[in-house]
Amino acid sequence: MPTLSEIEKLIPQLNPRRYTKLLKMKEIPELVTFLHPDETILRITPALLPEGVRNGIFIATNTRCFFLYKGGFFSEIFFELILYDKISSVEFNMSIGQLVIYTVSKKIEFQGIIKEELRDLCDFISSQAHKKSEPAAAPASVDTGNDMIAQLERLSHLKEQGAITEEEFIVAKKKLLGM
């Protein structure tokens, strides 16, 4: 799991146009608690979730994408998880900086993404979703028992926090256990 300083060093490489804005965002320190040990941030951008007008950050990793934002009376952190294997299609509207992700169960819209990032982000998410929908090959190595327990505990913690639904928990747990 990357540290905050590692994330802060990575951001200018991933988003050279808006890294100063990203580094000032209150959600950045929270990333450390939401990333899995084997997870790598591959895309990151400020975005707006029009539903409820929530400003935050959109993150695409090697395993999933999600939207983090702070809100509420006590500045709680909220987490909108989008698993690649649940994505059915991805669209974008360049003129308004809109990214639309269609999952098995819902449509999620993001706005405020600059044109120079939008097409790349859409293509990246589409390719990851396509990879995850293909039948998986046999794993090259088996996770150690301790690593699997840690990942199961993390899933359980995310479910308890409301970051993932019961259905997402069950799917992720089955995937982790190879079922």
Q: Assess contact for 166 and 159: CB atoms under 8 A.
A: yes
Mean pLDDT in order along the chain per 10 residues (179 residues): 89 92 91 90 93 88 93 81 94 94 93 92 94 59 60 75 78 75
Q: Give the count of beta carbons closer than 10 Å to the beta carbon of residue 100.
A: 15
Q: Assess contact for 31 and 7: CB atoms under 8 A.
A: yes
Q: Give me 59's structure tokens.
A: 């993150």
pLDDT at 143: 46
Q: Quote the pTM value.
A: 0.71
Q: Assess contact for 95 and 84: CB atoms under 8 A.
A: no
Dihedral, CA atoms, 52, 102, 2, 69, nearest 10 degrees?
A: 0
